[in-house]
A = this chain, B = another copy of it.
Amino acid sequence: MAHVHEVPADLTRNQGLVLGALNRSSGPLSAYDILDRLREDGLRAPLQVYRALDKLVERGLAHRLESLNAFVACADEHCHRKGLIAFAICEGCGKVDEFADAVIEERLGNWAGAKGFKVERTTMEIRGKCAECLKLAA
């Protein structure tokens, strides 16, 4: 199990609930998944979840996985949105591994510099099978 951030004290109620749901999950959750898990806590509409997610993602406490239309809690102790983050997503068990790579970041920076392109954010998602799932399938 990867590192789990302590929950910052200044989150609002809804933000705390949503981050809690993400932290308790073993894999990515869609906004509607989250909503379903928080109905008992009083959440009723998708927008309540999306608004909380926006803030969490903005602060680097959660990440959006574009290729899944889903979200995960940040699993990297040092992450908090400095620099490029890559995700490896297992199609077998759904687990997500989060990592950073300075060389890749530099490489992208070079490309952007050469083209005069100003990078605002980068999505990098690897889909495949994790070691455990490969072992099981063998």
**Chain A residues engaging chain B, CB cutoff 8 angstroms:** 66-67, 86, 88, 90-91, 97, 99, 101, 103-104, 107-108, 111-112, 115-131, 134
List 9 A–B pairs whose Cβ atoms lie within 8 Å, in order of A's numbering.
A66-B66, A88-B112, A88-B115, A101-B111, A104-B108, A112-B128, A117-B129, A123-B123, A123-B126
B112 and A134 contact, CB distance less than 8 A: no
Does B103 contact A116, Cβ atoms closer than 8 Å? no
State in angstroms the CA–CA spacing of A36 and B131 once bound together.
44
- A94 CB to nearest B CB, Å: 14
Question: Distance (Å) between the CB of A95 and the closest chain B CB?
Answer: 10
- A91-B120, A124-B124 are known contacts. Are A107 and B115 too (CB-CB below 8 A)? no
In angstroms, Cα B121 to Cα A127, docked, is: 5
Q: Given the complex, which residues of B lie within 8 Å of A108, measured CB to CB? A: 86, 101, 104, 126
Q: How far is the CA of A104 from the CA of B111 in the complex (A)?
A: 11
Q: Which residue of B lies closest to A122 (CB)?
A: B126
Q: Whole-angstrom distance from the CB of A108 to the nearest CB of chain B?
A: 7
